[in-house]
Structure 1
Amino acid sequence: MEDRWLSVDEIAAYLGIKRDTVYKWISEKQMPSHRMGRLWKFRKEEVDEWVKTGGADNSRIDDSGKAEKR
């Protein structure tokens, strides 16, 4: 299997989201990404693990232990 870096458009298509959402997740949800000059690049395996561990989840646990919607 080919091991290569994916672009914003490729990772957006892979996840079935818009490219604007990718940029939002990078800044707000610490989506695993690597900046190469002006470009953002992604490792599919890192993004898969991030999604599996709840990185893309819209809810977040606050200090009181309650889930808050973002």
Structure 2
Amino acid sequence: MTSSADEGKILTLKQVADFLKVTERTIYRLAAAKQIPAFKVGGTWRFSKAEINQWIQRQQEVGKADKT
């Protein structure tokens, strides 16, 4: 669940990579392939923290469904 402080928070590619503990290149590839919620501002990727948290929840649900 997201807190109200996270609602409007916008993250950079590096911040998302750090948050998810993956490389920046991985996040870039996911964003370019539209596999993670992202948008561009002036040619650079930006991410809504609330949308990233929702995406994480969906990934966890998919993982649970795969185990059954």
TM-score higher than 0.5: yes
Q: Does 1:44 align with 2:49?
A: yes
TM-score, length-normalised on structure 1? 0.67
Unaligned runs of 5+ in 2: none
Map Cα deviations across residues 35-58 of structure 1 (whole Å, 9 max, x no partner): 001111111110111121128x7x
**Paired residues of 2:14 and 2:24 also in contact (CA < 8 A):** yes
Distance 1:30 1:42 in 2: 12
Name the SS for the 2:22 alignment partner: coil
Unaligned runs of 5+ in 1: 60-66
What is the count of residue pairs matched by the alignment?
58
Give the corresponding residue for 1:24.
29
Structure with larger RCO (C-alpha < 8 A, sep 6+): 2
Identity level (%):
24
TM-score, length-normalised on structure 2? 0.69
Distance 1:54 1:32 in 2: 12
Map Cα deviations across residues 9-64 of structure 1 (whole Å, 9 max, x no partner): 01110111100000111123521001001111111110111121128x7x8xxxxx
Q: Which structure has the larger Rg over C-alpha atoms?
A: 1
- Runs ≥4 residues deviating over 3 A: none
Q: What's the Cα RMSD here?
A: 2.5
Give the corresponding residue for 1:63.
none
